[in-house]
DNA sequence: CCAAAAGTGTTGACGATACACCCATGT
DNA sequence: ACATGGGTGTATCGTCAACACTTTTGG
């Protein structure tokens, strides 16, 4: 390894954010509409370039905030796309980040004002470059993550109902889950606290609200749904 | 997103390769000794810079080949390290790749002639920059991968014995596995072909050699060890 | 009073683990 | 003949999946 740094080719580095939103039992993805060349009028992930003095993670948060107004989103790096000609205009390396949020926690108007828009995950428009591959790889990861680790909780509202939680899992996994088995498993892991409140927004009977026992939640050994 | 590409900061991009080697029941990692400044005389992962017209994956293979003489190694991307000051001399973004090889499949002399050296995974020297973090993250991934998917097979020699395979799993997982249960599970997945040959290099009795049934191997649904 | 969603237990099947002895061979 | 590693089966336990009815309440 010859560290003649200055003689080495430098590359433009971007971050692309995959913001999955959950709302009304459906999983959606946040995209931005390109009102400029190149690739005008097509849809793309939320992306931008990494600045000089910026950590990669910071760049992802800044880009997301700049393009959608969303702050304080918990994101994880997914993978890096680096084919030499993935962007036909100029070489750009892209590191992808993924997050899952509850749409209703965020201001829909704000998002709209940034020309960003939610699309159902199974009805995405055509995307630029290799962004579809990015979606696929992030979805794959999300499915794995949510099954085998406490994820999908960093993103829940403080209080939530079990039917809501179950629908979230169903939307991500793309399959139905048995109510009783689902509850049984959650109960056995013992990190949910049942509250005395009910949420009646989604049914007449109303569903009990739960919250996390943070302490227990952070020390789960065998999470598995 | 303003695509004024040329005005955007460009960044030096490196790949760092984590080559895990299995030999004699032990897991080792291949490192190179730095005979030059900066950080002379310290050890580092096998790394190099990504060239202009080179896919990221290609770069990883080239760097590995250039620094160790190893070719045709199956590598997978792990994650990208992008703190602004992870390399104190200049900003370098690093994408890590990981592989698992059988040491004896490769020419040890050749590797040595490149000033590369194998170290036991639990006796690594101090590494430069954030390379220790890279090792940790790659080990974590390796453990996950080997449990829940047919990995550790892309890297096996054509023919191998079950005791060898078991020791590989034990070395990676860091725990002992019951012989009978291990064999039972492999058998149930039905992708191993028992040969009529024995390998006597590791015992007097000799152990039967096996090979993969490629067809079945590529269509395993529930791999789980 | 009825529609719509919430809540609640049991059983059977399967997979995971624990466990001990004989076999083949080179020295 | 003995030391060394290779090979084999069974019993038990825990985990996962399948399955149906009662409760609450707004309209």
Name the range with the highest mean pLDDT among A17-26, A55-64, A208-217. Answer: A55-64
Residue A96 has pLDDT above 90, yes or no: yes
The Cβ-side half-sphere exposure at A67, using a 13 Å CA radius, reads: 27
Q: Nucleotides on strand C with an atom closer than 7 A to protein CB?
A: 3-10, 15-20, 23-26
Residues A19 and A130 in one domain: yes
CA of B118 to C1' of C25 (A): 34
Considering the domain architecture, whether residues B92 and B27 belong to the same structural domain is answered as yes
Among A179-188, B4-13, B164-173, the minimum mean pLDDT is found in B4-13
Contact between residue B97 and residue B16 where contact means Cβ atoms under 8 Å apart: yes
Q: Answer for the pair A46, A135: CB distance below 8 angstroms, yes or no.
A: no
pLDDT at residue number B161: 94
Task: Report DSSP letters for B112-133, one per residue.
Answer: HHTTEEEEETTS---BSTTHHH
- Choose the final residue of a domain: B96, B115, B143: B143
Residues A136 and A206 in one domain: no
pLDDT, average across residues A124-150? 93
- Mean pLDDT for B204-222 is 90
Please answer yes or no on whether B13 and A13 come within 8 Å at the CB atom: yes
Helix H or strand E segment including A209: strand A207-212
Q: Would you call B36 and A77 a contact, using CB atoms and an 8 Å cutoff?
A: no
First to last CA, chain A: 45
B86 and B180 housed in the same domain: no
User: Residue A68 belongs to a domain with what CATH number?
Assistant: 3.90.79.10
Provide the number of structural domains found in chain B: 2
- Do residues B109 and B171 both lie within one domain? no
- Residue A106 belongs to domain spanning: 2-143
The answer to whether residues A23 and A88 belong to one domain is yes
Q: Which of A1, A47, A66, A94 to mutate to test the interface with B (most CBs of B within 10 A)?
A: A1
Whether residue A223 is contained in a domain is answered as: no
Which of B113, B143, B173 corresponds to the end of one domain?
B143
Answering whether pTM is above 0.75, one says yes
Sorting pLDDT into bands at 50, 70 and 90, what band is B197? very high
pLDDT of residue A1: 47
Q: Are residues B135 and B165 in the same domain?
A: no
Given B143, B170, B193, the domain boundary residue is B143
Is it the case that residue A110 has pLDDT exceeding 90?
no
A vs B, Cβ pairs < 8 A, gives 110
CA distance readout (Å), A44 to A18, A34, A66, A71: 10, 7, 15, 20
Write the residue in A3, A38, A51 that is nearest to B9 by C-beta. A51
What's the confidence (pLDDT) of residue B205? 97
CB B45 within 8 A of CB B16: yes
Whether the per-residue pLDDT at B79 is higher than 60: the answer is yes
Domain contains B148: no
- Confidence (pLDDT) at A211: 94
Do residues A159 and A136 both lie within one domain?
A: no
Which residues contact residue A177 at a Cβ distance below 8 angstroms, ignoring those fewer than 6 apart? A166, A169, A170
- Per-residue pLDDT, A5: 56
The answer to whether residues B83 and B177 belong to one domain is no
Residues A46 and A127 in one domain: yes
């Amino acid at each position: 390894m010859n560290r003649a740094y200055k003689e080495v080719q430098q590359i433009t580095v971007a971050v692309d954010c995959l913001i999955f939103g959950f709302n009304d039992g459906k999983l959606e993805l946040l995209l931005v509409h390109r009102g400029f060349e190149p690739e005008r009028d097509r849809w793309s992930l939320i992306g931008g370039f990494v600045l000089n003095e910026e950590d990669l993670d910071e760049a992802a948060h800044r880009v997301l905030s700049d393009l959608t107004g969303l702050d304080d989103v918990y994101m994880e790096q997914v993978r890096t796309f680096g084919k030499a000609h993935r962007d036909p205009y100029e070489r750009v390396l892209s590191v992808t980040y993924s997050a899952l949020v509850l749409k209703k926690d965020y201001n829909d108007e704000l998002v709209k004002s940034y020309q960003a828009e939610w699309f159902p995950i199974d009805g995405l428009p055509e995307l630029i470059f290799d962004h579809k591959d990015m979606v696929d790889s992030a979805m794959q990861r999300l499915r794995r993550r949510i099954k085998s680790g406490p994820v999908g909780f960093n993103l829940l509202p403080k209080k939530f109902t079990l039917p809501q939680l179950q629908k979230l899992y169903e939307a991500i996994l793309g399959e139905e889950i048995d109510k009783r088995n689902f509850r049984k498993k959650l109960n056995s892991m013992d990190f949910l606290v049942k509250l005395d409140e009910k949420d009646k927004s989604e049914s007449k009977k109303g569903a009990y609200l739960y919250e996390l026992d943070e302490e227990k939640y952070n020390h789960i050994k065998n999470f598995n749904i």
